[in-house]
Chain A
C-alpha cells in the first residue's frame, strides 16, 4: 500500500518562545511522526501520535489550521494553504478508519 500515507512540511506549535515552526511530518503505520526536517529522518522522530484514537479538528476560522488530540496531548498544526490542510485531514481520517479496521479484525473483537 503506497497511498495510505501522507508526508510533507507543516507548521507545528512548539512553545511560547519558538511559536510555530516548520517541521516535516510523516503519516504511516498508524502513527503521525514529526522530524525537524526531511534530512533528519534517519536520526529518529521527535514525537509521535497514535492516529487510531486521535481526534482531528480543522480550525473553525483559520482554514490552514487543524488540531490533533489524543487524550491530553494536542498537536496544533498549520498547513501552507487550505488545500494542503484538506489533504492532511482527509489522509488522517482515512488512516484512522484503516487502523480501526485492521485492529478490529484481530484482538479487540475477540476480547
Chain B
C-alpha cells in the first residue's frame, strides 16, 4: 500500500480503511498482533487482515462483517484525525483542476493543517512532482511529517515549520502553483509571487469571508496577477428512495379509478410497507436531497502569474 500506488494485498504497516456501512468507517494501522474493536466485534490483524485482498469482506468475532479498503486521499479526508478545520474533496477537486496540477507539478501550500489537501496534492503530482508545505504550528507540522512517513509519501513532500506571511515558502522560482489557506492570505501574496516560476503559474486562495477575498484580490492585482476569478462550489448529495404517494379518494367508483392512467398498486409493489393496495398509491424513485447540507465552506480565488 501507498497513497500514491495501488497494492493488491494488505501488508504489515499499511494504513487501511475499515468500512462498517453507510457512511461509517475509520482508518486503521495494520500491525502484526494488533486487534481493532468494532461494533460488530474484534478484528485480529494477523489473521483477519494481513495477506487478504483489499476490498475483501472480513467477518468479525460477533458474526458481523466489514470491508477493508485501500486508502485514497478521498477516504483519508473522510477519516483523518482533525487538528484543524479541513478542506473536503469537493473543494479539493476544483482546486486541483483550476491550479492545473498534474504529475510533475511543483506546488507550495500553506498551512498544512490536518493534511487533507496535502494528500490529494501529493497524489496528483506524484511520481515526479513535489509539495512544499508550510505550517507555523510546530506540533501540527510534526504530526503531518509523521503521517506522510507512515503513508509512504515522504519523498514527495517537504514540511517546513515557519510563518509563511513573514518567511515565505522557503523556496523561490520553482513552483507551478501556490495554494493558501491562512487567515490573512494577502500578507503572503508577495511570497507566493516569488515562489512561483519566473515563467508564471497559478495561485489559489481559500477564505471563508468575503472581506478576506476583497483584500486578497486587491493585493493580487498589485502583484500583477491576472485572470482573477472567485468562485464557490457546493455539493448536493441525494438519497435514492422509493417514494409512494397515495391516491386521494375522491369518492369515484372503481371503474373511474382504473381509468386515471396511474399504474397504481402494481403487483411488484406487494410486500413493500409503503404501498397501500386498498386505496391505491403511486410509487416512484426519487433523489431526495439531504435534510441538511453544507451551505458554505469558503470562497476560492484563482489567478495567474504570467
B partners with A? no
Q: Name A's B-contacting residues (CB within 8 A).
A: none
